[in-house]
């Protein structure tokens, strides 16, 4: 199982308060996990962490991993 957690304003793009449980498939990547969300429908820029470490879309995920998606913040 791979857990995808959408944080802050991105929670609105998933049921269950921003949490999506996915069946793990060998060879699964971050991009594969994100494809199961509605992130493509938003213009919000975001960062991805897997088990609290920054990851890129092509990086692999393992069974039991948590993929956290956080919106980028701007400020001055």
Per-residue pLDDT at 15 exceeds 90? no
Q: What is the pLDDT of residue 31?
A: 96
Strand pairing report for 2-6 and 66-71 = parallel
Q: How far apart are CA 59 and CA 35, in angstroms?
A: 14
pLDDT digits 0-9 by tens, 22-76 = 999 999 999 999 998 888 888 999 999 999 999 999 999 999 999 999 999 866 5
- Look up residue 9 and give its DSSP letter: G
Q: What is the pLDDT of residue 75?
A: 60
Task: Break the chain into its structural domains and give their ranges.
Answer: 2-71
Q: How far apart are CA 22 and CA 29, in angstroms?
A: 12
Which CATH number applies to 2-71: 3.10.20.30, 2.102.10.10, 3.90.1310.10, 3.65.10.10?
3.10.20.30
Q: How far apart are CA 76 and CA 72, in angstroms?
A: 13
What is the reported pTM? Answer: 0.88
Note whether 3 and 21 are within 8 A (CB): yes
């Amino acid at each position: 199982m791979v857990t995808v957690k959408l944080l802050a304003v991105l929670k609105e793009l998933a049921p269950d308060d921003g949490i999506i449980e996915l069946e793990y498939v060998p060879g699964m990547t971050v991009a594969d996990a994100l494809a199961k969300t509605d992130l493509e429908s938003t213009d919000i820029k975001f960062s991805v962490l897997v088990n609290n470490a920054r990851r890129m879309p092509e990086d692999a995920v393992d069974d039991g991993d948590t993929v956290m998606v956080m919106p980028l913040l701007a400020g001055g």
